[in-house]
Amino acid sequence: MSDQRGLISIAFQTLMTEAPDQAQAWGALVRGLGEATALDKKTAALAYLAVLAALGLETGVPFHVQSAKQAGASREEVISAILIGLPAAGHRVTQVLPVAVATYDKA
């Protein structure tokens, strides 16, 4: 994934450009939490997608779909991870489905 620019939201790109110290601190926290998990990379990536979908955070989906795919997740697993929150979070999870599928199919 050499060109992540299209996968990263404009908001996060702006954070990295305009507030590099805060972006670096945030990145260190995220890396530390990622290292502290007992989940394998694929499971963690799929779980993260489920949380993004439940919260309706569509802008983070492309980057994390790509991460899940690189960790070995199939298209069907990505879709299932997004839809697993349907009973608890409701229809909002389907809002991220189009961007997730398009991102998976593109890469």
Is the same domain home to 80 and 102? yes
Domain for residue 32, yes or no?
A: yes
Domain for residue 1, yes or no?
A: no
* pLDDT per position as a tens digit, 28-38: 999 999 899 99
Is the same domain home to 52 and 86? yes
**For position 1, what pLDDT does the model report?**
36
Domain for residue 98, yes or no?
A: yes
Whether 83 has a pLDDT exceeding 80, the answer reads yes
Domain for residue 61, yes or no?
A: yes
Please report how many Cα atoms fall inside a 13 Å half-sphere around the Cα of residue 32, on the Cβ side. 6
Structure tokens at 79: 């879709």
In sequence order, what DSSP letters do the residues of 17-73 get, joined into one string? HH-HHHHHHHHHHHHHHHHH-SS-HHHHHHHHHHHHHHHT-GGGHHHHHHHHHHTT-
Q: Which domain holds residue 75?
A: 39-107
Percent of the chain with pLDDT over 70: 95
- Structural domains in the chain (count): 2
Is the same domain home to 56 and 29? no
